[in-house]
Each structure stands twice: as C-alpha cells, then as structure tokens.
Amino acid sequence: MSTTRATAKDPEVPTGRSAVRTLLRLWPYVRPVRARLFTAAFVAVLASCMGLVIPLVLKWLVDGPIADRDSRGVWVGALWLLLLGLGEALLFGLRRWLVARPLAGVEAAMRAALYRRLQRLPVAFHDRWPSGQLLSRATSDLMLLRMFLAFPLTFLFVNAVTILVGVIIMLIQDWSLGLVILGPAVPVLVVCIVFERRYHLVARRAQDQVGDLTTVVEESVLGIRIIKGFGRHRSQARAFRELSGTLRGTELHKARLLSAIWAVIVTLPELAIGAALVLGTVQVADGDLSAGTLVAFLSTALALRWPVDSIGFLLAMSQDAATATERYFEVMDEDPEGVGQVVSGAGSPSGAAGSFPGSAGSPTGAADPPSGSATGSDTASSVSGSAGPLLGATGSGSVVSGADGDRGLRFHGVSFRYPDAPADSPPVLDRVDLHIRSGESMALVGTTGSGKTTLTALVPRLHEVTSGRITLDGHDISVLPREELRALVAVAFEEPTLFSASVGANVLMGAGDSAGEDELRHALSVAQADFVHSLPQGTDTQVGEQGLSLSGGQRQRLALARAVVGRPRFLVLDDPLSALDVHTEAAVEAALRRVLADTTALIVAHRPSTVLLADRVALLSGGRITAVGTHHELLRTNAEYAWLMAGADEETDRDDDTPHGTDSFEEAAR
C-alpha cells in the first residue's frame, strides 16, 4: 500500500465513545437469530437461579433433618441437591447448543458483508489502508465479536440477574448480614468505571497493532523473493520482533489492568464474606440466628462469587468486542464508489436500469473544451445529429447525448487531484482535452510521473474526476452504472495481477458469464499466450498466489488476454508489452492490431514499437495534453516527444520471459 495508517494512535483522541452504543450497532446482524439468543439467555437465567435454590435446600437440611437426626430426610435432601445440580448442568449445556450455530451464522454474515463492502469501496480507500488492517478486521475482530455474543453478552445479563436475586435472598434471610455483603458494591462499581475507560484505549491499541503485524507478515510472504535476493531476512525478522515486542507490551498492559480490577473485585467481596461469617457466627452463638440460616446465607454468598468475580473479564471481553465493532464499522461506514455523486438530470423519468435513450438531447454538464487546446481538430464543434444508444437498449435517464463528432472516448477539460493530496499541491491532471475517435487507437506518451496511469484509471472510474467529464460515444460515464461501464471498458494494467485460480479462470474474469472455450482460445491467441497449453494441466493449471510461478512476461500476456477476451468496445492498455522480449512483442503486436481494428483504444506506451500500434499519439506533459498527431508528425514537430522516443530507442532490449524463482512450471511452459 502507498501509505500506512497510524491507527494505533487513534484511541488517544477523546471521542465521547459509549461501548453500549457501539455494541448496539450489531443488532441488525443479531436480529435474525434473536429468538434463539433470548431463549438461551432465559435458559441461562433459569439455570443460574436454580443454583441459588441449593442454599435454601441446605438450610432445610441443617435446620430440619440434620438437627432432628433424620437420616431419611438427609437422603431426600441429598437427592434434591443432585437433581438441582444435574438440572443446572443440562440447562447450561442447552444454552451453549442454542447459541453455537446461529452465532457462527452471524459471524459468517458479517464477514460476507465486510467482503462485499471492500469490493465496492473506491481504489483511493485501498490505497490508504494497509491490507493487514483489513485482514485483521475480517478475522480476529469478527472472532472477538462472536465470542462476545456467545458468552459476555449473555452472562453480563445472567450474572446481573443472579446477583440481584441472590442479594434479595440474603436480605430476606438476615438484613444485617446482607448489608455487610453489599458494603463493597460502591467501590467495585467505581473501579469498573475507571477500568472500562482505561482498558478501551489499550484494547484498541492492541487490535491495531495486530493489524500492523499482519501487514508485515503478508508483505514478507509476498515479497519473499526480494527479501532473499537482497539477504534482508535478518532485518525483516528484527522489524517483526520489534512489532511483536510492542504488541507483547500492550497485551501485558491489558493483563495488568485486568489483574488490578480482578484483585479489587475478588478481595473486597471475600473480606465482606469473612466479616459476615464472623458476625453470623456471633449471632448463632447468641441464639439470634439459626445455624441453617447462616449456612444458607454463606452458601448464597459463595454462589455469587463466580458472578461477581467474572465481572472483570466480562467487561474486558466486552471492551474488546466494542473495539472490534468500532474497527469493523470503520470499514462499513466508508462510502462505496459513487455515493454522494450528483448526476445531472436526475429528475428524468426512470426506466430500465442502466439503459440509455437513443434519441439526441441537449448536452448537459461541462461546457465544450476551451479554445486553444492542444488537441487541434479534436476540439472542433460538434455536428448536429444523434449518437446511437450506448447499450443498444431503450429506457430513460439523463445522459449527455453526443453528436457524431463526440463518438468514441473523449476527455472534456478533465482535472484530477488525489483526495489525500495537500490542498495547495498542483493537480495530477489539469484540464485535459483529448478525443479518441470511435474505432481509433490512441497512444499516450509522457515522462515517468506525468499522470498517464492516473488518466487511464479515470476511464473505468477507478478514480473520480475532480472536474470536467469523460464521455463514451457522447454519454457521460458518471451517469453510467459501474457494472455496465466496466462491461464496456476493458483494462490491462502495467503490473499484471493474477489470482490463486486456474489460468482459464484468470483470463475469463474479463468476459461475461457466457464466455467459454472459444473466447478463451481467441484471447490466448491474441496475447500470444499459447505457452499455457504446455503447463501441467493446460488452462486448468493453478497459477498460485499473485501468479509468481509464471514469468513477468507470461503474467503480462495473460493480463492482456483477460483484457481482450470479452471483445470490449473500449480498451485501455497501460504499457501492456513492457515485460516482453522483442520477438514475443512483435508477435503480440501483430495479433493485437486485429483486435484494435474493432475497438476504441487508449494505450500507454513507452517504446516506439508500442506507439506504432496506434493510429495517433498524444503527449502528456505537466498534467496536460500538449501535442496530438501521428508518430512521425510528432517526431518532426515536437522536441519533447522526439527526446522521449530517442531515449526509448537507446534502451537495452529486455528478455523477461524467465520464470521467477525455483517454483516455476516446467521448462516447456517458458
């Protein structure tokens, strides 16, 4: 990722956070299984209260059969104690059975929702967020939430009811001893409030550090060739140890906080029970209290030890869950692509989703490109007429209807600045005007960092333009649903990304669901990727994570095949041949010319051989299009273009078709 998000410092900023309000955001996910959860809570309360009946049976045994030396009554009492114990155990087992399956479903639903949201979030979001932070939210954080819903959520309620019922029972038996037991309540409550505030900060820091550690592990695995190639395993291990040590220190801080509250919660009630025992013994000796009542009272107090002692770690687990909920909704609250955009003419009558009218209309949106633009004849005034329907379907919606002069791919005064760029920084693209006519191929040339890749990313709306507009056949792409836009525009990036799937599956990602073997064979032929037929299982061969078992040139050819397999109307290629040797490049170019004859293409190029694929060339310099013409025209008339091409001619030819590492496929696949 381009930047690392310093999430570990976020909790230091006071936000008026409420753990209860935060956890209530889980309700939409819990609501479908609320019946089983409420039933489980009722069963747990019943089981816990059944345990409070045992001291009453003991009181009856001590004051009755034992005092009267009635052995038969003692056996009856023992039988009741056994039945109560078995009933309590069975009810707690039933509670666990009731919550296990539905809560696993809640976790799965939340993970699926998070994954769907990640797919819909803009590229700018993924540029900001380290992948490890996202992975930790989808794994460890959701595991914490499932544990909270399964245990602390229920037992915070169950233990509160148990303590309340138990205190009432003790006060009924002897109010003076009951007040002694209640003595520590106020200091324990104060300690719990202080603990909650402090533990939240440390819990958040620990979970963010887990995300940072996950990022380091993931980057080390994906970059293992670099680490080994430069002998950096020791420095990477040292960085990992430092992060691990930081996380260890945070976890120890959590443990110290938990031990502190536990010491208070355990010690004060024990002292109160000891005081009640002494006072109760004196009352029994004075004849003011029966021995059975004292036994029942102390048994009830001891039965409440677990509900009281568990307050500390239940609060800790709840704080961990609240922090996990915050982290989960930090992603879910991000606006997906297109939210908040203003679509011109939104008040038009609605029709079929995603369809566009074929009739002409008045242009809306940005004005015509300013005069004096470097695009020359491309900025000529439009010829009146009607642009054909973009998708061949009728419907309604407000679109920018274009004349014949607007057919193809057109940039109208497009400016772009990255969302996180300083306000006073110059835009990456500044009032770009460019027209790639329908059926034409345009090469985009410029120095490194001139904004070529950024410009190509605007066409499929991986980023949104800051100002201006982009049209396809006269239709503003901002009003076109992304699914339909990306079905019309295919992209091949300079850095080819392959997935842990078969070769065929990777290529067919660029086509609709109806694509089959014929389309696959055609795309592989265009990209000169026939090497796949020599792989162990042919097109069914699994390429492995990131496709690193293939060479750079092989990956690039598969990425190109993926771009052309769907026979797109518009094609955007970001230096698609940079990793190919000269012989393979020539063969790919020959096949690619046939594809380009049937599509409208924008091709980022660095080498003259790639430039010659295009009908015309556009020079991008200083964020603007400064010249447009054929390759030979620009060589004669533009010094900057001639300099760029001269430098490209002097580059040493590269042969990148050697597989990376020792885990490549057979020699025949090269």
- Secondary structure (DSSP) of 546-577: GGTTS-HHHHHHHHHHHHHTT--SEEEEESTT
Last residue of a domain, one of 301, 332, 363: 332
Predicted confidence band of residue 325 (pLDDT cuts 50, 70, 90):
very high
In this predicted model, which residue has the larger pLDDT, 187 or 647? 187
pLDDT (0 to 100) of residue 560 = 83
Last residue of a domain, one of 332, 366, 396: 332
For residue range 430-484, list pLDDT tens digits in order: 888 999 888 888 889 988 888 888 888 888 888 888 889 899 888 888 888 888 8
Predicted confidence band of residue 13 (pLDDT cuts 50, 70, 90):
very low
In a domain, 347, yes or no: no
Give me the DSSP letters along 426-469: PPSEEEEEEEE-TT-EEEEE--TTSSHHHHHHHTTTSS--SEEE
Of 112-116, 278-282, 286-290, which gets the smallest average pLDDT? 286-290
In this predicted model, which residue has the larger pLDDT, 328 or 305? 328
Assess contact for 348 and 397: CB atoms under 8 A. yes
Using alpha carbons, select from 353, 461, 477 the residue that is nearest to residue 412: 477
Assess contact for 57 and 77: CB atoms under 8 A. yes
Show the beta-strand stretches assigned E in 489-543.
489-492
Dihedral (Cα; 63, 67, 72, 75), 10-degree rounding: 60
- Sequence letter at residue 125: F
Q: Output the CA–CA distances (angstroms, integers) from residue 107 to 101, 142, 357, 559, in the order listed.
A: 10, 6, 44, 35
In a domain, 49, yes or no: yes
Which residue range is the domain that position 143 belongs to? 24-332
For residue range 333-342, list pLDDT tens digits in order: 988 876 544 4
pLDDT (0 to 100) of residue 662 = 35
Q: Is 530 helix (H, G, I), strand (E, B) or coil?
A: helix
State the average pLDDT over residues 564-572.
84
Six-digit token pair at 516?
């089959």
Q: Output the CA–CA distances (angstroms, integers) from residue 194 to 13, 302, 312, 321, in the order listed.
A: 17, 26, 12, 18
The CATH number assigned to the domain holding 599 equals 3.40.50.300
State the average pLDDT over residues 398-419.
72
The CATH number assigned to the domain holding 204 equals 1.20.1560.10
Helix or strand (DSSP H, E) at 325: helix 311-332
Mean pLDDT of the chain: 77
pLDDT (0 to 100) of residue 383 = 29
Q: Is the pLDDT of residue 329 over 90?
A: yes
pTM summary value:
0.70
User: What is the domain count for the chain?
Assistant: 2
Helix or strand (DSSP H, E) at 626: strand 624-629
Last residue of a domain, one of 332, 363, 384: 332
For residue range 583-642, list pLDDT tens digits in order: 777 777 777 787 787 888 898 888 888 888 888 999 998 888 888 998 888 888 888 888
For residue range 140-197, list pLDDT tens digits in order: 899 989 888 888 888 888 888 888 888 888 888 888 888 888 888 888 888 888 888 8
* Cα 3 versus chain centre, distance: 16
For residue range 189-223, list pLDDT tens digits in order: 888 888 888 888 888 888 888 888 888 888 787 77
Assess contact for 257 and 28: CB atoms under 8 A. no
Q: Is the pLDDT of residue 344 over 50?
A: no
Predicted confidence band of residue 556 (pLDDT cuts 50, 70, 90):
confident
In a domain, 135, yes or no: yes
Strands 616-621 and 624-629: antiparallel
Hunting for tokens 């009542």 — which residue is that? Answer: 293
pLDDT (0 to 100) of residue 405 = 61
* Cα 473 versus chain centre, distance: 35
Q: Whole-angstrom Cα distance, residue 329 to residue 334?
A: 8
Q: Is the pLDDT of residue 368 over 50?
A: no
pLDDT (0 to 100) of residue 21 = 87
In a domain, 434, yes or no: no
Using alpha carbons, select from 205, 413, 151 the residue that is nearest to residue 326: 205
Predicted confidence band of residue 111 (pLDDT cuts 50, 70, 90):
very high
pLDDT (0 to 100) of residue 339 = 53
Q: Which residues share a beta bridge with 490?
A: 571
Six-digit token pair at 4?
């690392």
In a domain, 650, yes or no: yes
Q: Is 385 exposed, middle or buried (0-12, 13-18, 19+ CB in 10 A)?
A: middle
In this predicted model, which residue has the larger pLDDT, 485 or 582? 485
For residue range 67-101, list pLDDT tens digits in order: 777 788 788 878 888 888 898 889 888 888 888 88
In a domain, 455, yes or no: no
Q: Is 490 helix (H, G, I), strand (E, B) or coil?
A: strand
In a domain, 187, yes or no: yes
Using alpha carbons, select from 616, 588, 305 the residue that is nearest to residue 440: 616
Q: Whole-angstrom Cα distance, residue 485 to residue 470?
A: 12
In a domain, 393, yes or no: no
